[in-house]
Amino acid sequence: MATVEVLTSELVVPSDKTPAGAVWLSNLDLAARRGYTPTVYFYRPDGEPGLFAPDVIKDSLARALVPFYPLAGRLGLDATGRLQVDCTGEGVLFVTARSEYVLDDLINDFVPCTEMRDLFVPPEPSPSAPCVLLLVQVTSLRCGGMVLGLAAHHTLIDARSAAHFVETWASIARGSNGDNIPASPCFDHELLRARPVPTVLYDHPEYKAEEPAPTHALTASSTSTTYASALITLTKAEVSAIKARCEVASTFRAVVALVWQCACRARSLPPEAETRLYSMVDVRPRMSPPLPPGYFGNAVIRTSAVATVEEVVSNPVGHAARRLRTATSQGDEYVRSLVDYLEGVDTMNLPRSGISRAHLRAISWMGMSLHDADFGWGAPAFMGPALMYYSGFLHVLNAAGKDNAVTLALSLEPESMPEFRKVFTEELARLQQQ
């Protein structure tokens, strides 16, 4: 594996004066994973020397931080000890580096893992207050390509918010003055404040500690950082074949249903074991009234579908897709119930890492447009997570340069991954023949 040499490290501050004060954080912000989300964008060279000049990226970053000024602040505490964002304008960490990697070799070698994160994303500080909220690394490759690595603090930024910021930043780098961004960022997290009289109408098991599994084989949690990860690209034809067996399910639900089914088989789980498929739902359009399009913060909730292993593996894949559709169809009242539930618990002690070996956690990043991450040298050749946190994690992404194709970033137990690949490939072939 090639190495990376760090050249410079500095703080980039907003290019103009920005508001001071503090951003209040909602219960959904406080319930998010208390740490950084590392992502990488790979860019191919296009023959123009100096195109990836770090100063161009740095200057556009400074300008992007003006409308997105809380990112230049620090995670802080209010008078009661509750987390908030202090809008101090201190800036984000900006690192430049170079590597002997050639992009094609990097893409062939890359899987989300600690080693790749350590190469292309700045080292993460403690995520506790006070701390920086965004870290950026620009790594020049020997071939003339470039890797953009980001680490964004999840307490303020969910996937949609991250995409909103990167799209704006890229637009500015391409020559925009920043006035024509798709939607102005909205930092009014009061829109997700608990009701004056909290009313919890639903159970919210995704925010409670898991009950111990009844069999010894399943009691081992997947909290270990030892996992096998893989990137699997599904062609348009393969996606269509899966969706054809899942009635009107979305691409995300259909693909995740098949992964759930194949993971249960690959893990050799007992038929009577309970398996839970966790997912995240963007609630921006589901609220009444909907949240502003530019709502910047955590506006996602955890949901889950639960079944026995036998139910998942013995039924057609469409059955699992229907279970997932039911679990991800909640509206305003469910979200308000969750926010009210979180008002009455210690959010510091919510389960945030690791799931039982019988379970799977799936997240859609399909809304993170690759085309809109064009800084002036073309869309990225790849964009995805820099690492996975534990076994049983799945990201569903748009495949670069391939219409209606998707890429799966998956982590499983090292002993389960080879069998998963075999079972998944066989099932794809079978579905295409039907």
Active site residues: 154, 374
Structure tokens at 16: 């103009």
The amino acid that residue 240 corresponds to is: S
Q: Residue 82's CB: how many other CB atoms inside 10 A?
A: 12
The amino acid that residue 190 corresponds to is: E
Q: What are phi and psi of 241, to 5 degrees?
A: -65, -40
Closest CA to 160 of 321, 301, 12, 341: 301
216's CB contacts (< 8 A; 6+ apart) are none
Enumerate the β-bridge partners of residue 231: 409
Q: What is the number of residues in the chain?
A: 434
- Tell me the pairing of strands 92-99 and 134-141: parallel
Going 109 to 405 to 149 to 355, the CA torsion angle's sign is negative
Q: 287-295 — which CB contacts under 8 Å span 24+ positions?
A: 287/191, 287/332, 287/335, 288/331, 288/332, 291/186, 291/191, 291/192, 292/183, 292/186, 292/188, 292/191, 293/182, 293/183, 294/164, 294/182, 294/183, 294/184, 294/185, 294/186, 295/161, 295/186, 295/188, 295/191
- Cα separation of 20 and 73, whole Å? 9
Scanning the structure block, which residue is given the tokens 């070799």?
Answer: 105
Whether residue 16 contacts residue 289, with contact meaning beta carbons closer than 8 Å, is answered with no
Q: What is the DSSP letter of 221?
A: B
CA distances to 93, 121, 132, 171, 211 from 152, rounded to whole Å, are 11, 10, 9, 19, 31
- Cα separation of 410 and 251, whole Å? 16
- Cα separation of 304 and 363, whole Å? 12
Whether residue 255 contacts residue 396, with contact meaning beta carbons closer than 8 Å, is answered with yes
Half-sphere exposure for 21 (CA within 13 Å, toward CB): 6
